[in-house]
Amino acid sequence: MSHSTADAELILATPAQQAERWGHHFAQWGAGYERSLFLRREAALAESEFGRSQLKLWLWVEPNGQVLASCETYAGNAWYCDDVGRTSIEPLQAVASVLVVPELRGQGHAAAMMAALSVELRALGTTVSTLFSDVGPNLYRKAGYLLHPARETALAVSGPHAMPAGAVELGLGDLADVLARDREELGAWVGGSTAPALAEIVQVDRIAWFATRARYRAWARGTEPSPVLGVAVGDSFCLWTTDAAEPLLHVLAWRPRRPADADKMVQAALAHASDLGLRQVLFWDADRDTGLDPWRRAAVQPPGLHRARDTGLPMLAWLQKGRPMPLVWMGIERYTWC
């Protein structure tokens, strides 16, 4: 049955509509979960500090109330430097969980919803929107998103690995000071860029949100979750998550100061993955040196198999017309740099 998007509108989901939509999320993305555990996970994420203050679920609905599609947005902030060196902190909205139920696909609902969402976000004063597409760029290009080609570095976890001397494990309670310093260093880096640049600010409650997801993923695998979210080596640090359908450890943020620190952080990631029974450590786009920031020098990049990504492609929409779009972008979602 065909449904027209001509009279549809974008609305925020009520709690009841949100809970109903989680059932569709399970059907789409619940691999490896029992349904009840997945729904408990979604509720826990919505009730987290990050979920209550920064997460919204949007519905694309017909006048009769029929939900045609849905998506989520996550609020954040980013340092921005324009083409004459002026820096500012700008509001950012990340888009995720774009979903049209199977029987309604192919009728243009997702594209229409994304176009309406861009208008809504711009009206709210959002400067930039990001997303990671598993279905390719064409759908999102229509809404103004530009594809930033991504790469990844994969390290196999073979045999046991020991936590290296000097590596200090980081939990949630350790992150406030670490991320406050990182916020200032990101601002200094953006301010010194030679081209318009954007750097997403890593937030403690966003990392806590990742930790909640990782906790439920561990339970889905029948294992106990780990409170360790990364490591520090001196003034270097990295953060990671184990929330993936595959047994992987994903690096979220990578801040090496010295080659020796980078080596120890790689060994720490391998040791943590080994302890959890994971098979791979994954860095997104960790093999390109733009020459613009101190964490991307070739000497401080992880070794491993470098390959182009064909899923989870990072995309960015610049919503403030008349201001120069950033040419380089550092994001938190899987350590993206484009």
- pLDDT, residue 194, reads 82
Taking the C-alpha atoms of residue 99 and residue 27, their distance in angstroms, rounded to an integer, is 11
Domains in the chain, ordered, with CATH?
9-147 (3.40.630.30), 151-309 (3.40.630)
- pLDDT, residue 235, reads 95
- pLDDT, residue 297, reads 79
Burial of 162 (0-12, 13-18, 19+ CB in 10 A): exposed
Q: What is the pLDDT along the chain (338 residues), one digit of tens a residue?
A: 556 667 899 999 999 999 999 999 999 999 999 999 999 999 999 999 999 999 999 999 999 999 999 999 999 999 999 999 999 999 999 999 999 988 999 899 999 999 999 999 999 999 999 988 777 678 888 888 888 777 788 899 988 899 999 999 999 999 999 999 999 999 998 898 888 889 999 999 999 999 999 999 999 999 999 999 999 999 999 999 999 888 999 998 999 999 999 999 999 999 999 999 999 999 876 445 566 677 777 788 888 777 777 667 788 899 988 889 988 888 765 444 43
∠ Cα 282 217 273 (to 5°): 40
List, in order, residues 6 or more apart from 168 with CB less than 8 Å away.
Answer: 231, 232, 233
pTM of the model: 0.91
